[in-house]
Structure 1
Amino acid sequence: MPSVPTPRLPTVSDVAEAAGVSRQTVSNVLNAPAVVRPDTRGRVEKAIADLGYRPHASARRLRTRKSSTIGVRLDPVQNGISGAVLDRFLHAVTEQADRRGYRILLYTAASPADEIAQFGRLLDGADVDGFVLTSTSFDDPRTEWLIAAGAEFVTFGRPWGLDDVDDPRHRWVDVDGRHGIGSATRSLLDDGARRIAFVGWPAESGAGNDRRRGWREAMAAGSGLSPEALDALDLHLEDSVSVAAGAVRGLLEGGGLDAVVCASDTLALGASTVVGPGVRVVGYDDTPVAAALGFSSVQQPLEEVASAALQLLLDGESGGEAGGAAGGAADRHRLLRPRTVWR
């Protein structure tokens, strides 16, 4: 039988001819789209789509000295409830990176020092172009190391406790937990609740302190309770179902509650096991557990977080405001607002 000829794959020249531009312009659209005018970029992107052109990844890496790969740490599973949030974020950032022609390289690390060692190995081998960091903490040594190394990175989480909140070298995306918890608390107050407890984490948690502040401000403005009464309703606990259940049970026995607002769905699950039918519980993260058990929860916009993180890392700009933006040097930071899913 005669052999069937293999169809010729479209080339950069084919794309350039179809779009009416030069080969260099096509190369710019593929490798540095920000330098191409939007109308020209649109013509080239349409020609690429119409012809089904796919750049040769290996040749592109050799030409640009870029790996088209982003490193993301695969966090250890410490809590199957709240850990679902990072799983959803990882899926979102992987899908959106793929649409931009980038891959995600997952790596593991047992500690910040171990992760910094991973940074060095991945950068020395030119395995990644940059990093998306999660689980930021007070005085995070990872960001200091990356800034000193001149590496590209963006964090999902603000630089708690550091001086570089407005440093253009530290690009970050975060969700405004203060607004989310404050909004949920105000809604409960508007519905007539007054004794609303907050079940949160110990004081060394930056995100936890931010969420607690939202509850405290809303309660101070609308509950009519004294500062001392608010102190009694403010619990600082480890992220544990059983610990939360025991602490909330103590509040119920000591004077009753109208509602409980929590810093996580783990804590909310614990609270929900001991409150009566007349006490509303609000968690944070809107995990499958919250949906299955039917308690309300503050939902983080993880698709928006992933999109903003990639924009900041790959484009060097936020691409406009959405859901509320935090100002910062060169607009390199994004603070997105969550919403409460009421059940």
Structure 2
Amino acid sequence: MTQASTPTLVTVAERAGVSRQTVSNVLNSPEIVRPDTRERVLRAIDELGYRTNVVARQLRTRRSFLLGLRMPPAADGISGQVLDRFLHALTEEAQGSGLRIMLFAAADDEAEIREYENLRTTTGIDGFVLTATHSGDTRTRWLSDHDIPFATFGRPWDPEPAGRAAEASAEGVPPKPGHHAWVDIDGRAGTRAATRHLLDAGHRRIAFLGWPEGSGVGDDRHAGWLAAYEEAGLEHAVVQRAEDGVAEGTAAANRALADPGVTALVCVSDSIALGALEAVRELARSEPDRAPVAITGFDDTPVAGAVGLTSVAQPIDQVAARIVEQLRAQIDGRPEDVPDHQVLIEPRLVVRTTSRTEHRR
């Protein structure tokens, strides 16, 4: 294509039948443009082969259009699936909003904070996405104190003093940990649905296989199992805890199944559930007269579908979309345009063969 025929904002605007400013809005703030208009402009951009001058845009806006994300530590092929899916969904959502994801590595939270400082200095990065939130999370306090846009996949797990949020709002002070933008999956609702599913099938002694106490996510999922039992007016059954992993799940299931009354297992993750599945298969071989044991997992990883494991599915695409929406609003200086800056998304139970057998009392 010759220089004379290189498409510009003006030629794109003429092709789409809109103003030059509308084209600029589609490129820089697509969420403020009506969907049908945005689609028409994007189609014109594709047809003409228009490419934005990124350097010029950065100089004009003094923004990098980059979001930083610490590359999650290597995990086993089962547990790592959730963060892999999130990273893919986040990248797609960011691109659709005119942003890019920059990955970086850090050994721990303190190293991650050092990278925040480094990236702000060297790249002028616009904001950060955080994962793996936990009690005592120093990252959120540092970002809040430095007035840097960020959002987290995961809730803050520290209890907040009563009235703190209202006081902060009234005083007009920057949000502190607990008041920042976050999106999370309602783990309590997920395990509650799984437990109710098993109760409806006739099971009454349902063991929970969870992570060690103190894990915010794990404790949240345990609370759902507990809530379903309380709603049913039944005494709580067996709880066994283990680190996440298939072998650990097998060991925890064996401990739970030492109680001959246990007929079902609600597992905190698919990794634990797959280990439990192996324990149940071995039990069926060694005690053929024992009733089948039902199992549910959490995360609905691809392996769950492959082995017929009932599991709780996390709508990761929705999480990524809301996080990008929150960050884009912060970066553009219009956080009030996102009314829900703390979002809890309910997961969905996917029923498969491991829990379909009804238990006859």
Same fold (TM over 0.5): yes
Q: Please, which of 193, 199, 203 is the counterpart of residue 183 of structure 1?
A: 193
Asked if 1:335 is matched to 2:344, the reply is: yes
C-alpha RMSD of matched pairs (Å): 2.6
Query: Could you list the per-position Cα deviations for residues 159-207 of structure 1 after superposition, in whole angstroms to 9, with x for gaps in the alignment?
Result: 1115388959611110111111101110111111111111111221111
Residue 266 (structure 2) aligns with = 261
Task: Give the secondary structure class of the aligned counterpart of 1:183.
Answer: helix
| 1:202-221 pair list within 5 angstroms | 202-221=212-231
Please say if residues 316 and 332 of structure 1, whose CA atoms lie closer than 8 Å, have aligned partners that are also in contact.
no
Per the alignment, do residues 209 and 59 of structure 1 end up closer, same or farther by CA in structure 2, a change over 3 Å counting?
same
TM-score (structure 2 length as normaliser): 0.81
Residue 257 (structure 2) aligns with = 252
For the residues of structure 2 that align with 1:309 and 1:235, how far apart are their CA atoms?
Answer: 34
Deviation at residue 126 of structure 1 after TM alignment: 3.0
Deviation at residue 21 of structure 1 after TM alignment: 5.0
TM-score (structure 1 length as normaliser): 0.85
Asked if 1:123 is matched to 2:120, the reply is: yes
Task: Give the secondary structure class of the aligned counterpart of 1:154.
Answer: strand
For the residues of structure 2 that align with 1:148 and 1:78, how far apart are their CA atoms?
Answer: 31
For the residues of structure 2 that align with 1:308 and 1:149, how far apart are their CA atoms?
Answer: 23
| 1:76-225 pair list within 5 angstroms | 76-161=73-158, 163=160, 167=175, 170-222=180-232, 224-225=233-234
For the residues of structure 2 that align with 1:250 and 1:39, how far apart are their CA atoms?
Answer: 58
Deviation at residue 311 of structure 1 after TM alignment: 1.1
Residue 62 (structure 1) aligns with = 59
Asked if 1:285 is matched to 2:294, the reply is: no
For the residues of structure 1 that align with 2:118 and 2:212, how far apart are their CA atoms?
Answer: 34
Asked if 1:270 is matched to 2:275, the reply is: yes
Identity, % of aligned positions: 49
Deviation at residue 73 of structure 1 after TM alignment: 1.0
Please say if residues 313 and 347 of structure 2, whose CA atoms lie closer than 8 Å, have aligned partners that are also in contact.
yes
Please say if residues 94 and 101 of structure 2, whose CA atoms lie closer than 8 Å, have aligned partners that are also in contact.
yes
Please say if residues 139 and 162 of structure 1, whose CA atoms lie closer than 8 Å, have aligned partners that are also in contact.
no
Deviation at residue 225 of structure 1 after TM alignment: 3.2
Per the alignment, do residues 241 and 22 of structure 1 end up closer, same or farther by CA in structure 2, a change over 3 Å counting?
closer
Please say if residues 158 and 165 of structure 1, whose CA atoms lie closer than 8 Å, have aligned partners that are also in contact.
no
Aligned length: 324
In structure 2, list runs of 5 or more residues that go unmatched.
Answer: 167-174, 285-291, 332-337, 353-361
Per the alignment, do residues 130 and 246 of structure 1 end up closer, same or farther by CA in structure 2, a change over 3 Å counting?
same
Per the alignment, do residues 7 and 244 of structure 1 end up closer, same or farther by CA in structure 2, a change over 3 Å counting?
same
Moved more, 284-293 or 113-122: 284-293
For the residues of structure 1 that align with 2:216 and 2:346, how far apart are their CA atoms?
Answer: 17
In structure 1, list runs of 5 or more residues that go unmatched.
Answer: 318-328
